[in-house]
Chain A
Amino acid sequence: MGSVITVVSVALVVAGAAAALFWLVRGRRGFGTPADRAAYATLHSASLAAPPLRDGLDPESARRAARHLRELLGTPALAVIGDGELLAWEGPGRRHAAQAVAHAKDATDAGRPWVVPAEEIHCGDDRCPVRSAVVVPLMVDGLVVGALSVYARQVSAGLVRAAGEVAHWMISQLELAELDRSRTRMIEAELRALRAQISPHFVYNSLTAIASFVRTDPDQARELLLEFAELTRYSLRRHGQFSTLAEELRSVDRYLRLERARFGARLRVDLLIAPEVLPVAVPFLCLQPIVENAVRHGLGPKQTPGRITIRAEDTGAECRISVEDDGVGMDPEDVRMRLAGEDDGDSLGLGNVDERLRAVFGDEYGLVVETAPGAGTKVNVRVPKYRNGVRAS
């Protein structure tokens, strides 16, 4: 028995070590012809330089990309210039860094590649490899955002060509960065639109409901007004794409109190919340539109008392939230159109919530709606508990 265990354990350890070793060297093994290897090396440098550039052009990203760009071009030194200042200098001859912006000026003014002759650069030190340069402007959407200066002993036609190609590749990465940014801006714009979308019906209904209490039950009226004030402050707050589930539920809670002031005993609400998921970060205002939908479209047209059940459960790496009503239900086709954003009529933001969830967490995290006419509606939301960059503020 003992020896069997020994053999099995040793075999496992050896197999594990071999697998780890294979994994480590897999990418580095020399194979193929020298030309193949050169191509692989070039692609590898390019793939390493890409992620920093995808963050846009700033000193941090330029510094991290410059190292790989220099390997890609095989030149002694290069500089990345952005908007009239030096972002990064890579390689020897640092004393030339001060003039790098001046060297790039002609190229950025002209908007095309420019060779800087040796007279303007050479410092008199024969060992210094920085003698002449080719500068390629980086243009995104027709605007010069910076320049790539490649320094060498002697600028050849080949180097000019290579510098041009590398600059071209950098520009495509920067354009992708711009695309990312505009996508973020779009989400923010949608969020702003949603904030402004507190339904006028709701404001009107709430205020009339409160008014009806002013004489009969002034304390209740005061409470409700305060709830209303808090709700508007939360919904109209200006910062942050994300909030915690606890904050979202608190806001839903206020919303439902106001609705119950109007519906009275016709609206019953059950909350089944696992305390473990309360601090999870969720997109700001992702629950209220769903609950509002349940109240207005599910229970509003219904004459008998209705019930809304809000659940939040902890399922390991994810948190599952569902909002269920026993109202009149919806036509599935209707829901599909609304989620696809084709129904621009009385949309209460289900599509907006769906879109933001997908934009933040990926397509597999969209809303799942279970409904049929007369059968009530259940909207399911899944949120990963942790996602890099997602944080409640």
Chain B
Amino acid sequence: MNPALGFTALAVVLVATVAVGVYGLRLSRATSDFYVASREVSPLWNASAIGGEYLSAASFLGVAGLLMAYGVDMLAYPVGYTAGYLVLLLLVAAPLRRSGAYTLPDFAEERLGSTAVRKVASVFVAVIAWLYLVPQLQGAGLTLETVTGAPRWAGAVVVAAAVTGVSAAGGMRSVTLVQGFHFWLKLTAIAVPAVFLVLAWRSAGTPSLTAPDVPRFPRTTAVDIDQRVTFDVTAPVTITVSGGLDGTSYGMEHAPGGGQRLVRVRLVAGAHTAAAGSTLTFPEGVPVPHKAGTEPATGARWASPLSGAGGRGHPLYAVYSVLLATFLGTMGLPHVLVRFYTNPDGRAARRTTLLVLILLSGFYLLPPVYGALGRIFAPQLLLTGQTDTAVLVLPQITQGGEAGRLLGALATAGAFAAFVSTASGLTVSVAGVVSQDLLRGSTRGFRWASLAAAVPPLVMTVATPGLPVADAIGLAFAVAASSFCPLLVLGIWWRGLTDLGALLGLVAGGGLAAVAVVLTSVRGTGGGWSAALLEQPAAWTVPIAFAVMVTGSLLTRGRISAAAVDRVMLRMHLPEEVGAQPEPGRPGVPVHRV
């Protein structure tokens, strides 16, 4: 892509973000219209804000990438990301809003009255936020690399520095407005190019997505290799090469008949390695060699569920584990809960969640379009393994000329919005929790905490570049589902939860999931049951967490104070309209709504 256009897109997003942040607060500067009520956030705008913060690089880039490489099983991710809000709506939204807790540690302290559980919860908030930040920074690196050709780590460093700076300087002032704006920006950035993509597909004669054939190059295609890659050739093919291939450096050669031309190389079947910076040109119609570790799948296999297309083992287990992690993990994400507090009451919290479901359902229809059509229009991404960039490169491949470049710039703007909004939301929430619980809540503490929030994920990003973006997000969901989901669900719906039971459950479930995450990122993805269990730990860690929490609570039943549980339960489950809570010894005071 034209770097200037990419930078312009980035600049526009940042300027618009700052403008909305500043102007948003000024918007409420009025002398005649003075009502505080008019400042309360409407459920639609609040839902947009939740969507804006939630739709991260994993949603914007990663879903399309995974779907393109591994087939329709990967639809479990967008389905789970959305349905997580359904679980949140049914089990958690309204009681949590009424509980008065701002963060997950607040909830732990409010419900269980224990500072020990609060501390452990704070640690898990930090861990989950770090895991969630890694793919945001990866996405930033990938986008900047695709747009400008800068090295992969540069984008991660730039975004981490920007987000930390903004957060340490006092955060974005009008967060709800900014995040709401980002949602609509992202929706536009992915929807408009998608329309053109579908038009291009139709004008190409609607090539079948489910053909019984592996992906082939639709025309003579020059593939630029940004990062050293090993790929498997299934049938011998003759290509032209410039740059390093299999340890040999190729340049120009004399063409018969005068002039220069690129060297032609015949690739035998088997593994080949292309060096960074080389360009391989494949002729039209040959099957696309796939990156080592993935295997070519026919369109039919790609489109059939649980077929293990793309070479992932144990598809049934993996799909259910992903669904469990995303269904139950959404409620445990640190930046989701904070948004709910902007609702004036529990009922508005439910209404907001319903709108979030609708908005997210609409959004998640679009990335699969890129994933599916990417196999037809940009199959070379399967060779380079950079399927995560499908959303960024497809508009330009399908639309030539100025229109394609503008659409590409729009998609880039959406991607920047995706990781800037999620990363800033996460950094602010984790910095708040860390500064409050570990640094005793001073302003200076908050600045240090912003640094503490951004540096570990930056190190992790630079150290583990290989994990697909949406997979890395899945791990954060798995840890959240195995730690905070049991705490929230049991805490809200079961009187019997004790502080010790909660502590044990958090440490057992969250700890096991975290260990699985560390092992996966160390040894990478692989085959076999042990790898499947570690890559998608939620299916076993969530039941363990629930079991430990329930058993631990039953064994320490003596620690429950019935009066305290009554008080918290009443507060969480009694709708606000029923009445203001009477003070002890005083009759209830009816609420008058003016």
A250 to B173, CA, bound (A): 22
Interchain CB contact under 8 A, A316 and B583: no
- Central interface residue in A230, A239, A316, A318, by most chain B CB within 10 Å: A316
Interchain CB contact under 8 A, A272 and B26: yes
Contact partners of A299 in chain B: CB under 8 A: none
Contact partners of B173 in chain A: CB under 8 A: 274, 313-314
Complex partner residue of A315 from B30, B171, B521, CB under 8 angstroms:
B171
Interchain CB contact under 8 A, B435 and A317: yes
Known: A385-B102, A386-B102. 15 other contacts (CB 8 A): A239-B580, A239-B583, A249-B36, A271-B29, A271-B30, A274-B176, A275-B176, A276-B175, A281-B100, A317-B103, A317-B433, A384-B441, A386-B110, A391-B571, A393-B580
Interchain CB contact under 8 A, A239 and B589: yes
Interchain CB contact under 8 A, B171 and A314: yes
Residue-by-residue, is A274-313 near B (CB-CB < 8 Å gives 1, otherwise 0)? Answer: 1110110100000000000000000000000000000001
What total of chain B residues lie within 8 Å of the partner, measured CB to CB? 59
Interchain CB contact under 8 A, A317 and B432: yes
Contact partners of A2 in chain B: CB under 8 A: 522, 524
Look across to chain B and name the residue whose beta carbon is closest to the beta carbon of A319: B102
A268 within 8 A of B: yes
Interchain CB contact under 8 A, A253 and B39: no
Closest beta carbon of chain B to A218's beta carbon, Å: 20
A317 to B434, CA, bound (A): 10
Closest beta carbon of chain A to B170's beta carbon, Å: 6
- Chain A interface residue number, banded: 35 or more
Complex partner residue of B563 from A13, A60, A270, A278, CB under 8 angstroms:
A60
Contact partners of B113 in chain A: CB under 8 A: 388
Interchain CB contact under 8 A, B29 and A270: yes
Contact partners of A162 in chain B: CB under 8 A: none
B31 within 8 A of A: yes
Contact A250 B36, CB 8 Å, known A239-B583, A274-B25, A314-B175: yes
Complex partner residue of B36 from A246, A269, A272, A317, CB under 8 angstroms:
A246
**6 nearest interchain CB pairs?**
A316-B432, A386-B106, A317-B436, A317-B432, A249-B36, A275-B41
The total number of A-B Cβ pairs within 8 Å is 124
Contact partners of B31 in chain A: CB under 8 A: 268-270
Contact partners of A230 in chain B: CB under 8 A: 594
Interchain CB contact under 8 A, B35 and A253: yes
A46 within 8 A of B: no
B561 within 8 A of A: yes
A271 to B103, CA, bound (A): 27
A196 within 8 A of B: no
A350 to B36, CA, bound (A): 23
Complex partner residue of B34 from A269, A279, A313, CB under 8 angstroms:
A269
Complex partner residue of B581 from A279, A313, A393, CB under 8 angstroms:
A393
Contact A253 B34, CB 8 Å, known A246-B344, A272-B28, A278-B344: yes
Contact partners of B174 in chain A: CB under 8 A: 274
Interchain CB contact under 8 A, A386 and B175: no
Contact residues, B566-590 vs A (CB, 8 A) = 571, 580-583, 586, 589
Closest beta carbon of chain B to A333's beta carbon, Å: 27
Contact partners of B109 in chain A: CB under 8 A: 388
A9 within 8 A of B: yes
Contact partners of B341 in chain A: CB under 8 A: 276, 279
Complex partner residue of A391 from B25, B34, B41, B100, CB under 8 angstroms:
B100
Interchain CB contact under 8 A, B518 and A386: no
Chain A residues with a Cβ under 8 A of chain B: 2, 5-6, 8-10, 13, 60, 64, 230, 239-240, 246, 249-250, 253, 256-257, 268-276, 278-279, 281, 313-318, 384-386, 388, 391-393
Contact partners of A240 in chain B: CB under 8 A: 583
Interchain CB contact under 8 A, A386 and B100: yes
Residue-by-residue, is B446-471 near A (CB-CB < 8 Å gives 1, otherwise 0)? Answer: 10000000000000000110000000
Closest beta carbon of chain A to B109's beta carbon, Å: 6
Contact A257 B342, CB 8 Å, known A384-B441, A388-B109: no
Chain B residues with a Cβ under 8 A of chain A: 25-26, 28-31, 34-37, 39-41, 100-103, 106, 109-110, 113, 170-171, 173-176, 338, 341-342, 344, 428-429, 431-433, 435-436, 441, 443, 446, 463-464, 515, 518, 521-524, 561, 563, 571, 580-583, 586, 589, 594
Task: Name 29 A/B residue pairs within 8 A (Cβ), A-sorted.
Answer: A2-B522, A5-B522, A9-B522, A64-B561, A239-B583, A239-B589, A246-B36, A246-B344, A270-B29, A270-B31, A272-B28, A273-B39, A274-B173, A275-B40, A275-B41, A275-B342, A278-B39, A278-B344, A279-B342, A316-B432, A317-B102, A317-B432, A317-B435, A384-B436, A385-B102, A386-B102, A386-B103, A391-B571, A392-B100
Interchain CB contact under 8 A, B25 and A272: yes
Complex partner residue of A278 from B36, B102, B170, B582, CB under 8 angstroms:
B36
Closest beta carbon of chain B to A229's beta carbon, Å: 11
Closest beta carbon of chain B to A391's beta carbon, Å: 6
Interchain CB contact under 8 A, A272 and B29: yes
Complex partner residue of A271 from B34, B170, B464, B580, CB under 8 angstroms:
B34
A316 to B431, CA, bound (A): 8
Interchain CB contact under 8 A, A9 and B171: no
Look across to chain B and name the residue whose beta carbon is closest to the beta carbon of A240: B583
Look across to chain B and name the residue whose beta carbon is closest to the beta carbon of A278: B40
Contact partners of A256 in chain B: CB under 8 A: 34
Closest beta carbon of chain B to A142's beta carbon, Å: 26
Look across to chain B and name the residue whose beta carbon is closest to the beta carbon of A3: B522
Closest beta carbon of chain B to A121's beta carbon, Å: 27
Contact partners of A278 in chain B: CB under 8 A: 36, 39-40, 342, 344
A271 to B34, CA, bound (A): 8
Interchain CB contact under 8 A, B28 and A318: no
Interchain CB contact under 8 A, A246 and B40: yes
Interchain CB contact under 8 A, B28 and A271: yes
Closest beta carbon of chain B to A352's beta carbon, Å: 21
Contact partners of A257 in chain B: CB under 8 A: 34
Closest beta carbon of chain B to A281's beta carbon, Å: 7
Closest beta carbon of chain A to B292's beta carbon, Å: 15
Closest beta carbon of chain A to B436's beta carbon, Å: 4
Contact A239 B586, CB 8 Å, known A246-B36, A272-B29: yes
A313 to B35, CA, bound (A): 17
Interchain CB contact under 8 A, A5 and B464: yes
A78 to B450, CA, bound (A): 53
Interchain CB contact under 8 A, A6 and B522: yes
A268 to B29, CA, bound (A): 11
Contact partners of A272 in chain B: CB under 8 A: 25-26, 28-29
